[in-house]
Amino acid sequence: MLLSEIMDRPVMDTDEAQSIGQIDSLVIAPRPAHILALRLKHTGGGGTLLTWSYVHAIGPDAVMARVNAREASEEDIAEHAAVCRNLLGRRVLTQRGTEIGTLQDIDFDPDSGRILNLLISSGTLPAQSLIGVGNYALVIQEP
Amino acid sequence: MSTLMLASEISKRPVVTLGGEAVARVKDVVLDGHTGRISGFTLSGLRLLSGPRRQALPWEAVAGLGPHAVMIQDETALKDRDEVADLAEAAEGNVLGARVLTDTGMDLGQVTDVVVEVTASQAVVAGYEVAPTETLGHKTRTVFIPLARTIAASGEALVVPAAVADYVTEDLAALDKAIPEFRSRMGEKKT
């Protein structure tokens, strides 16, 4: 599943059956590449980070989540979330210092939250190669 | 696999951790005058106009020197400036502007930049960019010459074997091809 496919998808609280926002982007971490949280927008003043473990299902029309769990763990992922702001479009560098493109999209497994592939402007990279996610660049390990 | 790059091109490149954070910018390449190796980099702040930093980056701590960034493991790679600079007898600036003379007394031109050969494990001076004298007959503004191992150098002039004149190239790609030929010829002469 691609980040671009779920962008703007409404997020529903399974307990209250209420909309809590829309998907804005992902908060990711490397080694192994995985989703830490979903960043939400249009939350009506609520928290904007939804920890991945509380995402119940990513359905075709809505993402179902347990909203009461949302604020509890925001502290732990705040640093990652700050780095992952405006992640799409960020430059991608190899560990040897060559820029190979910019991040265009993220292909992930909606069940496990594992990131499968990084879609960059010059092609598709397996996510295992991701070794760093920073403010300046994503760093990948060249074979 | 090796790549040729100009020392001036390495300057201004960002220093980036493997975690993807830019921590500084390369100010100057520090060359070890004895071995011809890059011994490290002096640094400036990230903004283009920011001044020199107290810290420098020793070559041993470089994880990768690429065309777009100098990669390091993390910020602990940066060391006190004096530790790096002390290792270098001659900085890059010393050869810039120096005249290149062959041992037969031909003036090839003035050094305008240093060509560095970068491999996975080290970076060594492989040649010079030279603003040529008219006698060389090159139309380009600058030419490249391979570095002779038997070189004598001062801030004023570099004395190179006359054979260097046969390996003057107009671009880095041609120099890359000329270097092995030049080296094997220089090697043969010694025996």
- What does each of the 191 residues of chain B score in pLDDT, given as a tens digit? 688 999 999 988 999 999 999 999 998 888 877 778 888 998 998 876 777 778 899 999 999 999 999 999 999 999 888 777 654 444 444 678 888 888 898 899 999 999 999 988 888 889 999 998 876 677 678 999 998 765 566 667 888 888 898 999 999 999 999 999 998 888 765 44
- Tell me whether residues B67 and A134 touch, CB distance under 8 A: no
Torsion angles phi and psi, residue A140, rounded to 5: -120, 150
Is the pLDDT at A15 greater than 90? The verdict is no
Chain B residues near residue A80 by CB distance under 8 angstroms: none
Nearest by CB to residue A136, choosing from B21, B65, B70, is B21
Distance CA B68, CA B23 (A): 14
Q: What is the pLDDT of residue B26?
A: 93
pLDDT value at residue B150: 54
- Taking the Cβ of residue A133 and every Cβ of chain B, the question of whether any pair is shorter than 8 Å is answered with yes
Tell me which DSSP letter residue B37 carries: B
Q: Does A109 touch chain B (CB under 8 A)?
A: no
Domains of chain B: 3-90 (2.30.30.240), 99-185 (no CATH)
What is the pLDDT, as a whole number, of residue A110? 95
Domain spans of chain A? 1-136
Is residue A139's pLDDT more than 90?
yes
Which neighbouring-strand residues pair with A10? A22
**Closest partner residue to A134 among B19, B64, B67, by Cβ?**
B19
Which chain A residues have a beta carbon less than 8 Å from that of B13? 97
CA gap B130, B107 in Å, rounded? 11
Q: What is the pTM for the complete model shown?
A: 0.85
- Across B39-71, b (16+ Cβ under 10 Å) vs e yields bbbbbbeeeeeeeebebbbbbebbbbbbebbbb
Which residues on B lie below 8 Å from A133 (Cβ)? Answer: 19-20
Question: Any bridge partners for residue A77, and if so which?
Answer: none
Of B138, B166, B133, B163, nearest to B148 (Cα)? B163
pLDDT of amino acid A69: 53
pLDDT in tens, A56-92: 999 999 999 987 655 555 567 888 999 999 999 999 9
Cβ contact, residue pair B20, A97, below 8 Å: no
Q: Does A87 touch chain B (CB under 8 A)?
A: no
Best mutation target, A96, A99, A138, to test chain B (most B CBs within 10 A)? A96
- Give residue B17's identity as a one-letter amino acid code: T
pLDDT score of B92: 47
CATH class of A1-136: mainly beta
Report how far residue B132's alpha carbon sits from residue A50's, in angstroms, rounded to the nearest whole number: 64
CB–CB contact B71 A132 (8 Å): no
Say what the pLDDT of residue B91 is. 47
Q: A96 and B19: CB-CB below 8 Å?
A: no
> Looking at the complex, does the CB of residue B72 fall below 8 Å from at least one CB of chain A?
no
The CA R_g of chain A, rounded to the nearest whole Å, is 15
CA–CA min distance A88, chain B (Å): 14
Nearest to B20 among A98, A99, A139 (CB): A139
Nearest chain B Cα distance for residue A35, angstroms: 17
Judging by beta carbons within 10 Å of its beta carbon (0-12, 13-18, 19+), is residue A8 exposed, middle or buried? exposed
